[in-house]
Chain A
């Protein structure tokens, strides 16, 4: 018994354990996702998060300890965002042809995201902290967290809202777009990227190149739009 304890103490202090756990949980999530014919409801990020949170809670491991290992994966988000320039360049012609339509659509979408989140949060008596943290949820995490801090919200709670929004959009987005009868990959990608940033884009990358390019573009544009619109809206309303 003592020996197992010692091994556990050694392992849990080592970043390798939680790095490996992250990869294993994601591999399992991806396996389930692929077995289910890439059904969006079997989102691999969601499955991996559920597995890891369950393990961390049962072993009483803190998020800080987990993150010491997982940060190596987390770090790659930055370079990966830079790399989205490639799918975007591949669709450069298509983007240029409908530049104004893209700008107007993302701006409208951005306004919808901010206003509807604030309205519903307030109507259902959410605390001010919750509403501030909800309002930038469709923007990519670093922008959303910066905005929440600026407005007096909780950056770490905002990060949670951003992640949930991303997973939710990737899960239900395809069904909504099918219901609306939207077949154009550019419009589908743009909608997913505006509503659910990088997690939506990650899903789009596995489905269609055009959708991925437009989704990545929408993510970038919505980050800008939210950063400009949200502080103005917030000061007008409160």
Chain B
């Protein structure tokens, strides 16, 4: 387990270094995610111990957002004066983004199923579930 925790930290660090040296705005952890993904592609499967390590972290992913979320208290004043544009923009924009993305994805993945090979796609989908 320890070696895979080390691997994760190495991917994180490498990601940070890549982002810094190439001066790109993509955060280090996201590049680290791509690096770990490449490791898995080269490796061909997910090592059992790596799975255990990552499941332990990811099962409680929500918890990790709490400290940043508490940062809300830093901007109570500004949020009081601009509460209407902020809340309206947050709510409407979130609803719109979810709607547009989901409809676009559903529409684009349904398109090829229409001409002819519908039965094939259906059996594939059932197996996938």
- Residues of chain A whose beta carbon lies under 8 Å from any beta carbon of chain B: 22-23, 25-26, 30, 44-46, 48-49, 52-53, 56-57, 63, 66-67, 70-71, 73-74, 76-90, 92, 94, 98, 100-102, 104-106, 108-109, 112-113, 116-117, 120-121, 123-127, 129-131, 134, 137-138, 140-143, 146-147, 150, 154, 156-157, 159-161, 163-169, 172-173, 176-177, 180, 182, 184, 186-188, 190-192, 194-196, 198-199, 201-203, 205, 216, 218, 220, 223-224, 227
Whether B70 and A66, one on each chain, are in contact in the complex, defined by CB atoms closer than 8 angstroms, is: yes
B2 at interface (Cβ–Cβ under 8 A)?
no
- Chain A neighbourhood of B40, CB < 8 A: 85-86, 89
Whether A108 and B70, one on each chain, are in contact in the complex, defined by CB atoms closer than 8 angstroms, is: no
Name which residue of chain B comes closest to A138, CB basis: B97
How many residue pairs at the A-B interface have CB separations less than 8 Å? 315
Closest 9 CB pairs of A and B: A126-B85, A109-B101, A70-B67, A81-B29, A101-B108, A191-B102, A85-B36, A124-B85, A202-B61
Name the one of B12, B81, B99 contacting A176, with C-beta atoms under 8 angstroms: B99
- Chain B neighbourhood of A220, CB < 8 A: 30, 33-34
Name which residue of chain A comes closest to B30, CB basis: A220
B41 at interface (Cβ–Cβ under 8 A)?
yes
* SS of B interface (majority): helix
B22 at interface (Cβ–Cβ under 8 A)?
no
Distance from A199 Cβ to chain B, minimum over Cβ atoms (Å): 5
| A137/B93 contact (C-beta < 8 A), A63-B70, A86-B46, A176-B99 known | yes
| A199/B57 contact (C-beta < 8 A), A66-B70, A85-B36, A223-B30 known | no
Distance from B38 Cβ to chain A, minimum over Cβ atoms (Å): 9
Name which residue of chain A comes closest to B64, CB basis: A77
**Per-residue A-contact encoding for B64-103, CB less than 8 Å = 1, 0 else:** 1111111111110011011011101111111111111111
Q: Which of A46, A121, A160 has the most chain B CB within a 10 Å cutoff? A: A160
Q: Which of B27, B88, B98 has the most chain A CB within a 10 Å cutoff? A: B98
Whether A168 and B99, one on each chain, are in contact in the complex, defined by CB atoms closer than 8 angstroms, is: no
Tell me the bound Cα distance from A201 to B65 in angstroms: 11
- Chain B neighbourhood of A195, CB < 8 A: 94, 97-98, 101
Tell me the bound Cα distance from A78 to B91 in angstroms: 27
Whether B64 and A73, one on each chain, are in contact in the complex, defined by CB atoms closer than 8 angstroms, is: yes
Q: What is the size category of the interface that chain B forms with chain A?
A: 35 or more
Name the one of B78, B106, B108 contacting A130, with C-beta atoms under 8 angstroms: B78
Whether B65 and A77, one on each chain, are in contact in the complex, defined by CB atoms closer than 8 angstroms, is: yes
Whether B33 and A81, one on each chain, are in contact in the complex, defined by CB atoms closer than 8 angstroms, is: yes
Q: Which of A167, A176, A191 has the most chain B CB within a 10 Å cutoff? A: A191
Whether B65 and A166, one on each chain, are in contact in the complex, defined by CB atoms closer than 8 angstroms, is: yes
Tell me the bound Cα distance from A198 to B32 in angstroms: 15
B25 at interface (Cβ–Cβ under 8 A)?
yes
Distance from A37 Cβ to chain B, minimum over Cβ atoms (Å): 16
- Chain B neighbourhood of A142, CB < 8 A: 27, 29
**Per-residue A-contact encoding for B7-37, CB less than 8 Å = 1, 0 else:** 0110110010000000011111110111111
Whether B12 and A79, one on each chain, are in contact in the complex, defined by CB atoms closer than 8 angstroms, is: yes
Whether A26 and B62, one on each chain, are in contact in the complex, defined by CB atoms closer than 8 angstroms, is: yes
- Chain B neighbourhood of A100, CB < 8 A: 108
- Chain B neighbourhood of A177, CB < 8 A: 98, 102
- Chain B neighbourhood of A83, CB < 8 A: 8, 33, 36, 53-54, 57-58
